[in-house]
Amino acid sequence: MKSHSIKELLSSNLSLQEVTINGWVKTFRSNRFIALNDGSTINNIQCVVDFENFDEALLKKVSTGAAVKISGTLVESQGRGQSVEIQVKELVVLGVSDPDTYPIQPKKHSLEFLREKAHLRVRTNTFAAVMRVRSTLSFAVHRYFQNNGFYNVHTPIITGSDAEGAGEMFRVSTLDQKKPPLNDAGEIDFKQDFFGKETNLTVSGQLEAETYAMALGKVYTFGPTFRAENSNTSRHLAEFWMIEPEVAFNDLDANMDLAEDFIKDVINYILEHCAEDLKFLEQRLIDEEKSKPQAERSDMPLIEKLKFVAENNFKRVSYTEAIDILKSSTPNKKKKFKYIIEEWGADLQSEHERFLVEKHFKCPVILFDYPAKIKAFYMRLNDDGKTVRAMDILFPGIGEIVGGSQREERLDVLLEKIKELGIDEEELWWYLDLRKFGTAVHSGFGLGFERLVLFATGMGNIRDVIPFPRTPQNAEF
Amino acid sequence: MKSHSIKELLSSNLSLQEVTINGWVKTFRSNRFIALNDGSTINNIQCVVDFENFDEALLKKVSTGAAVKISGTLVESQGRGQSVEIQVKELVVLGVSDPDTYPIQPKKHSLEFLREKAHLRVRTNTFAAVMRVRSTLSFAVHRYFQNNGFYNVHTPIITGSDAEGAGEMFRVSTLDQKKPPLNDAGEIDFKQDFFGKETNLTVSGQLEAETYAMALGKVYTFGPTFRAENSNTSRHLAEFWMIEPEVAFNDLDANMDLAEDFIKDVINYILEHCAEDLKFLEQRLIDEEKSKPQAERSDMPLIEKLKFVAENNFKRVSYTEAIDILKSSTPNKKKKFKYIIEEWGADLQSEHERFLVEKHFKCPVILFDYPAKIKAFYMRLNDDGKTVRAMDILFPGIGEIVGGSQREERLDVLLEKIKELGIDEEELWWYLDLRKFGTAVHSGFGLGFERLVLFATGMGNIRDVIPFPRTPQNAEF
């Protein structure tokens, strides 16, 4: 007999039919009620066992975490909280789960404890819900771009280019690590390395994506990127997934429109497709915050917050306006900020971004036209000669979720900038070719996928929204 | 005025309206006809310039590769081969393209030449078509799984686990490469490395995907994987994208059903959504094969071949049957094979797989139940004690496109196998936990995405179906 998923059964009209399901035992109460889950939904199906008809030794094996196969009749439920249940006719224990050693017991485990059990934590309601939302969100990303005429580009992970300058890189090599070959100059002979040159893990696919945008028009990447930075925070990972659209002929305004429309669309998509998981995660957050002082609790329940972002315009503010707001703000005047904003040109710290988003505007904010000095070489210089067409999107509770810009399309301006920063022009020959042959205005942005998942799920630590987090001193599994 | 994509205009009813488009000049004939392309489609739109109304110096800049913005009236075309054209009113050259130095001229370039220009080759019809098909195929992959209740899992790229055994690995490190720190034993002190242990780039996400399948039921990965093997062939890359579904409660038969259904579905999807690009690629292949002897040409035109695969059952043959067929085959008897098949247990070489698929069965073939000795440790042992529940799918012209298996779910059998092979049990503690707690039958497979793109586009070299190929001695861009 074909087996069904629990999600199918709970939303079906199969009542009074014979069904077969497989799953894992969540709980087994009163030697009679098995709450069974197969991962297809947050909801369990109740399976009612008439214990007099089953061997006691068999029922002993029905413990939390055991895999079972159940056949029986789907009937309307007698109990509260569920529409249907299964009257069990056949019960097979496929794999036991010793209650004395199985770490995932039906009680509250700390998120820290579960991080040590990353291979099992997805068996908890919280992580299963987070990972289902993550999966749906990742599909929403592809769906949005593909429906809007973008082409997905797989930019390289191993790169011989080190000019991106977005952060510290991991080296990739097959050379003997203990005794690497040296050349005549006494330096490591990378000609003997696998790729015949020094290679690293990419920090961004942007530069390569630009080459594709200048041919296919609208493209996006969605792949892993890496930072070898010793940042042990709740917002940083050494390995994370990034989404980078790049669009020929888009200026910065169109770029901001795209980013805002994109974020709203994917949030609406999960509101529609993950209603039950989001409801569970909303309640989880409420429970978690009960022990916190009122001032540290979320302003809105999770789903309301997601709807708020999906339905309201992001506030667009120039860097210059933002500096004025910050300079005259109470925490700046009362020296409550760790970094006091003294003058135009200052780099904004997390505390400033949070003030703008959470205290001042109370909504997502797009900051644009930053000082050239604090931004990357490829961003387009404004006519004022001192700001560039950069934009960051700041989210409540998350901080920077998007960083983007209009790219410098003018060869002479770009060359001058590269010289100024001492970047090797030879390294960027192919990037400069884009400005030599058919150059045009173009823009793009990068969105850290895990930060979006953090926001969407209400989780507090980025290590809890990716299956197997990579952080300093941690690459287990 | 809102600008349109060329794809929109060519399929629209906007005739007699004023439109604005941006794109790159493909050709400019008779100082009058600009063939413009913006990457949205293989088709160009013809823009008709009344040269008497435009400055000669401006028109001089309209050369192949130049970026232009054109406004004008969309009218029914007078010429053959196109439905609509634009009568140009305004013409702005956004970026010139010097005909003396621009490498991508409107003539035939060799694929080898274009590989050196990987940042520009997507401006050719061939590569633009290949990359659009690749993008659509990648979406078809996500769409298939998400529509069928699978959850996408991002398994780690950097891995501390080296037990997968699927091939040579790239080391990832931030240690000083010239003078790595040594421990008391004189060995490299990986405790001082970024992750506190030796780490590599993943060769497969399977083992981690299994941990998620044993909680969420049906999962899939779609991400980059790596092989540090010195294979300079037209079918191998050092960095490639792999799709790995993993399903709890699926046995090998269900696994074969899934793989076949999946491949047919994504091929049908591109047949429906990439008709024009496929038509172009079909003609390209016919042109390319004209110079080849009849025996080396494709049996079927590209689209017919794709339809054939989508519409016909794959032939399922056990390894044992395949050996019998091969042993009694003409090339084996006449010693035409490089490796003569002498007896059961032999590993099949590419020549044998090609014989089975291209000469004997003339259709995709699924081989199953391989000798345990030539397959991986995690595959489920059959009751005969000598074969495992493995399956490979072989495609005409491509060879192995899928490798999968039912996984060994029995702790004792798995432990014995691990000992037999000398694999470090400690390394696999988390993988073994899956067999201790709620174990169940489960299966999955890996599909090399680039091989699928090769098959779908009719291209001959795997370097030509990924934007920036990584191969021995090559990590440019």
Give the span between the Cα atoms of A247 and A157, in whole angstroms: 21
Claim to verify: residue A164 and residue A43 sit in the same structural domain: no
pLDDT at A224 over 80: yes
Claim to verify: residue B347 and residue B317 sit in the same structural domain: yes
In order, the DSSP letters of A206-224 are HHHHHHHHHHHSEEEEEEE
In a domain, A282, yes or no: yes
In a domain, A144, yes or no: yes
Percent of chain B with pLDDT over 90: 91
- In angstroms and rounded to an integer, the radius of gyration of the C-alpha atoms of chain B is 27
pLDDT at B69 over 70: yes
Q: What is the CATH number of the domain that holds B16?
A: 2.40.50.140
Task: Tell if the CB–CB gap between B196 and A409 is shorter than 8 Å.
Answer: no
The whole-number pLDDT of residue B78 equals: 77
Task: Tell if the CB–CB gap between B139 and A122 is shorter than 8 Å.
Answer: no
Q: What is the least distance, in Å, from the CA of B350 to any CA of chain A?
A: 25
pLDDT at A165 over 70: no
- According to DSSP, residue A355 is labeled I
| A161 band by pLDDT with thresholds 50, 70 and 90 | confident
The whole-number pLDDT of residue A12 equals: 82
**Mutation target among B21, B216, B434, B463 for the A interface, most CBs of A within 10 A:** B216
How many structural domains is chain B composed of? 2
Q: What is the CATH number of the domain that holds A373?
A: 3.30.930.10
The whole-number pLDDT of residue A164 equals: 60
In order, the DSSP letters of B113-168 are HHHTTTTTGGGSHHHHHHHHHHHHHHHHHHHHHHHTT-EE----SEES-----SS-
Q: What is the least distance, in Å, from the CA of A418 to any CA of chain B?
A: 17
Using CB atoms, pick whichever of B39, B69, B228 lies closest to residue A216.
B39
In a domain, B291, yes or no: yes
Give the span between the Cα atoms of B101 and A196, in whole angstroms: 28
More confident residue, B397 or B273: B273
A208-215 average pLDDT score: 98
Claim to verify: residue A217 and residue A286 sit in the same structural domain: yes
Task: Tell if the CB–CB gap between B7 and A218 is shorter than 8 Å.
Answer: no
The whole-number pLDDT of residue A80 equals: 74
Bridge partner list, A171: A200, B173
In a domain, B198, yes or no: no
In a domain, A458, yes or no: yes
ipTM reported for the complex surpasses 0.90: yes
Residues with Cβ < 8 Å from B89, sequence gap 6 or more? B18, B71, B72, B73
The whole-number pLDDT of residue B29 equals: 96
Residue of B nearest to A195 (CA): B473
Kindly state the helix (H) or strand (E) to which residue A173 belongs, with its residue range. Answer: strand A171-173
Task: Tell if the CB–CB gap between A438 and B472 is shorter than 8 Å.
Answer: no
What does the pLDDT look like over B103-119, one tens digit per residue?
A: 999 889 999 999 999 99
Residue of B nearest to A100 (CA): B437
Using CB atoms, pick whichever of B182, B215, B440 lies closest to residue A123.
B215
pTM of this structure: 0.97
Bridge partner list, A142: none
Task: Tell if the CB–CB gap between B187 and A178 is shorter than 8 Å.
Answer: yes
For residue A172, which of A182, A184, A181, A162 has the smallest C-alpha distance? A162
Claim to verify: residue B236 and residue B365 sit in the same structural domain: yes
Using CB atoms, pick whichever of A142, A168, A178 lies closest to residue B188.
A178
Claim to verify: residue B254 and residue B321 sit in the same structural domain: yes
What does the pLDDT look like over A31-56, one tens digit per residue?
A: 999 999 999 999 999 999 998 999 99
Residue of B nearest to A174 (CA): B170
Q: Could you give the residue ranges of the DSSP H alpha helices within A64-205?
A: 111-115, 125-147
Give the span between the Cα atoms of A176 and A186, in whole angstroms: 16
Claim to verify: residue B216 and residue B258 sit in the same structural domain: yes
Distances (CA, A) of A139 to A403, B147, B213: 21, 10, 18
Claim to verify: residue B375 and residue B306 sit in the same structural domain: yes
Within 8 A of A187 by CB-CB distance, chain B residues are 178
Claim to verify: residue B83 and residue B215 sit in the same structural domain: no
Claim to verify: residue B219 and residue B351 sit in the same structural domain: yes
In a domain, A184, yes or no: no
pLDDT at B148 over 80: yes
In a domain, B475, yes or no: no
Residue of A nearest to B133 (CA): A151
Claim to verify: residue A96 and residue A16 sit in the same structural domain: yes
Least confident piece of the model among A77-81, A288-292, A333-337, B397-401: A77-81
The whole-number pLDDT of residue B2 equals: 79
Task: Tell if the CB–CB gap between B238 and A196 is shorter than 8 Å.
Answer: no
Residue B366, both tokens: 């699924």
Claim to verify: residue A422 and residue A308 sit in the same structural domain: yes
pLDDT at A166 over 70: no
Task: Tell if the CB–CB gap between A249 and B3 is shorter than 8 Å.
Answer: yes
Residue A86: helix, strand or coil by DSSP?
strand
For residue B44, which of B88, B90, B5, B73 has the smallest C-alpha distance? B5
B336-353 average pLDDT score: 95
Claim to verify: residue B134 and residue B269 sit in the same structural domain: yes
**Mutation target among B120, B135, B221, B442 for the A interface, most CBs of A within 10 A:** B135
Q: What is the least distance, in Å, from the CA of A355 to any CA of chain B?
A: 33
Within 8 A of A214 by CB-CB distance, chain B residues are 24, 123
pLDDT at B415 over 80: yes
Q: What is the least distance, in Å, from the CA of A161 to any CA of chain B?
A: 6
In a domain, A295, yes or no: yes
Percent of chain A with pLDDT over 90: 91
Q: Helix axis angle, A411-420 relative to A429-436, nearest 10°?
A: 150
pLDDT at A411 over 90: yes
Percent of chain A with pLDDT over 70: 99
Expressed as residue numbers, the domain containing B428 is 123-168+203-464
